[in-house]
Amino acid sequence: MITLRGAEVSAKLKVQVEELLKRLGRIPQLAIVRVGDSPDDISYETGAVKKMHAFGLKVEKFVFPEDISDREFKEAFKKINEDSRIDGILVMRPLPPQIVQEDIERMIDPMKDLDGISPVNIAKVFSGDSTGFAPCTAEAVMNVLKLYDIPVAGKRTVVVGRSMVVGRPLAMLLLQDNATVTVCHTKTVELQDICRRAEILVTCAGSARMIDESYVQEGAVVIDVGINVDENGHLCGDVDFDAISSVAACATPVPGGIGNVTTAVLARRLVNAALAQEEAGSEK
């Protein structure tokens, strides 16, 4: 079985970013907005900051206390959103319960919304408008398939997971590339049989090692988006990587797979957002 490593895809995306920066002629800036100190948020934030610096981009963190009021957070977010120095915004979610997250999703400038949370970007993704930003993880999956030259057109593709963060927008991106897509979840009847018919199997269910060799057909491509912690405290995906190695043609590991590509997509998207804003400004 071939291991589809994220580092190789990330390196190719870095070359793309370097070319885009030549067109832009300046270094764009990312704003990371975090409320509280969730270990998951801090871990992703750390990886994103590291990637931005590695790609030669600027990043500023805006960290707020867990108990900040809805009004105070919205006032602070409005300033970040309207700051002309900031080209892109990444909001760490979920936000604490006292903050109305839907209001933030409506507030964020769609052109600065790098992780596809704005209703405007969501609508564009679901309508097939390529100017909309899909969630970075969903686009990372597409980049892995493309940069490893794995064709999706006409392929029986199963996505296990239905969240708006990965599953549903990813299904739309796959459909745009002419895949034949089935979206499943942990309550899908005969899930094992459906997965076993997939030529491309993508898992984003958030269930540690639930996918073993009995879910995978011979020669399938397996993309593991899951990030879980097992009973021994080790990071793992939704896929039992060792178990499927005897049947799958290729698969992404966890760690070292999609997560690495997600932050690289974020970096490329930051530069694209800066270019789009400059073009929009010049047309006014």
Binding residues for NADP(+): 161-163, 227
Q: How far apart are CA 258 and CA 225, in angstroms?
A: 6
Q: How far apart are CA 16 and CA 115, in angstroms?
A: 19
Annotated binding site: 161-163, 227
Nearest residue to 57 (alpha-carbon basis) of 11, 88, 12: 88
